[in-house]
Structure 1
Amino acid sequence: MTVLKHHSDPCPMNTLLRLLSGPWTLYILWNLRSNGPLRYGALKRCIPGISSRILAERLRMLVEAGLIHREYEPTVPPQVTYSLTERMEDLVVVLDQIHDIAQRWYRCEEPVPTSTH
Structure 2
Amino acid sequence: MTNITSCEVDTALELITGKWKHSILLVLINGDTLRFSELKRALPKISQKILTAQLRDLEEQDIVIRTVYPEVPPRVDYRLSEYGKTLIPILEAMNEWGMRHAERMRSN
Length-normalised TM-score, structure 1: 0.73
> Quick one: which of 88, 93, 98 aligns to 1:97?
93
Structure 1 portions without partners, runs of 5+: 1-10
How large is the Cα RMSD of the aligned pairs? 2.5
Distance in 1 separating the partners of 2:23 and 2:53? 14
- Describe the shift of the 1:30–1:77 C-alpha distance in structure 2 as closer, same or farther (beyond 3 A): same
What is the CA deviation profile of residues 17-43 of structure 1, one whole-angstrom value per residue up to 9, with x for unaligned ones?
112112200010010013611000000
Structure 2 portions without partners, runs of 5+: 1-6
- Report the identity percentage: 35
Q: Which amino acid aligns with 1:66?
A: D
Distance in 2 separating the partners of 1:62 and 1:24? 11
> Quick one: which of 9, 12, 23 aligns to 1:13?
9
The structure richer in helix per residue is 2
- Describe the shift of the 1:101–1:45 C-alpha distance in structure 2 as closer, same or farther (beyond 3 A): farther
Length-normalised TM-score, structure 2: 0.79
Q: Between Structure 1 and Structure 2, how many residues are aligned? A: 101
